[in-house]
């Protein structure tokens, strides 16, 4: 009985070593991706190629890992990121009209950035403030009860703070 337990512990110990190596590499990779995005506000291809080479990881594996996480971006983003909640409560209370007004005013579609890089327009599912619907976030700051008047103030503020 004791010999069997020892054997199991040895196997688990070995697997533990393998896992810790994989986890270590993954931890370094995620940290490096975060640092690159912090520097450039997205993940430029050249930076990813350099990182893949440095870590001796196939570029496709690096892309696969980065695309698993929603907070990594592969194209440049604006200095302001405006994200309209399209969850049910916000949808019912006019989120679609907010998106249309923003598209019309800034001349961009969802997921796009203005040519002067002042704004990226995005949409998202419920952000967890349904009682304040319709809701949007500006650079991750939540703004609720966005009626037509408040929306025009937001548009003006973005134009003034390019």
What minimum distance in Å lies between the beta carbon of 105 and ligand FES? 21
Please list every residue from 119 through 138 that binds ligand FES, using CB under 6 A: 126-130, 133, 135
Stretch that binds ligand FES, among 25-33, 34-42, 66-74, 81-89 (CB under 6 A): 81-89
Q: Which is nearer to ligand FES, 47 or 130 (CB)?
A: 130
Instruction: Check residue 89 for interaction with ligand FES (CB under 6 A).
Output: yes
What minimum distance in Å lies between the beta carbon of 133 and ligand FES? 5
What minimum distance in Å lies between the beta carbon of 102 and ligand FES? 16
Q: Which is nearer to ligand FES, 119 or 133 (CB)?
A: 133
DSSP code string of the chain: -HHHHHHHHHHHHHHHHHHHHHHHHHHHHHHHHHHHHHHHSS--HHHHHHHHHHHT--HHHHHHHHHHSTT--SS---SEEEEEE-SHHHHHTTHHHHHHHHHHHHT--TT-B-TTSSEEEEEES--S-GGG-S-EEETTEEE-S--HHHHHHHHHHHHHT-
Q: Which of 48, 85, 151, 154 binds ligand FES (CB under 6 A)?
A: 85
What minimum distance in Å lies between the beta carbon of 90 and ligand FES? 3
Instruction: Check residue 142 for interaction with ligand FES (CB under 6 A).
Output: no
Q: CA torsion sign, 156 to 160 to 161 to 162?
A: positive
Q: Which of 10, 23, 64, 88 binds ligand FES (CB under 6 A)?
A: 88
- Contact residues: ligand FES, CB under 6 A: 85, 87-90, 126-130, 133, 135
């Amino acid at each position: 009985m004791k010999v069997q337990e020892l054997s199991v512990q040895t196997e688990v110990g070995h697997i533990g070593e393998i896992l810790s190596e994989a986890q270590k590499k993954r931890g370094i990779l995620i940290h490096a991706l975060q640092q690159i995005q912090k520097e450039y506000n997205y993940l430029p291809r050249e930076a990813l190629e350099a990182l893949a080479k440095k870590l001796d990881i196939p570029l496709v594996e690096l892309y696969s890992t980065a695309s698993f996480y929603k907070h990594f971006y592969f194209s440049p983003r604006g200095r302001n990121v405006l994200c309209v909640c399209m969850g049910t409560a916000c949808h019912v209370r006019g989120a679609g009209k907010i998106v249309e007004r923003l598209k019309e005013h800034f001349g961009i579609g969802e997921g796009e950035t203005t040519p002067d890089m002042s704004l990226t327009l995005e949409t998202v599912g419920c952000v967890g403030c349904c009682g304040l619907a319709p809701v949007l976030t500006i650079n991750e700051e939540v703004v609720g009860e966005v009626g037509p008047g408040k929306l025009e103030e937001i548009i003006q503020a973005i134009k003034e703070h390019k």
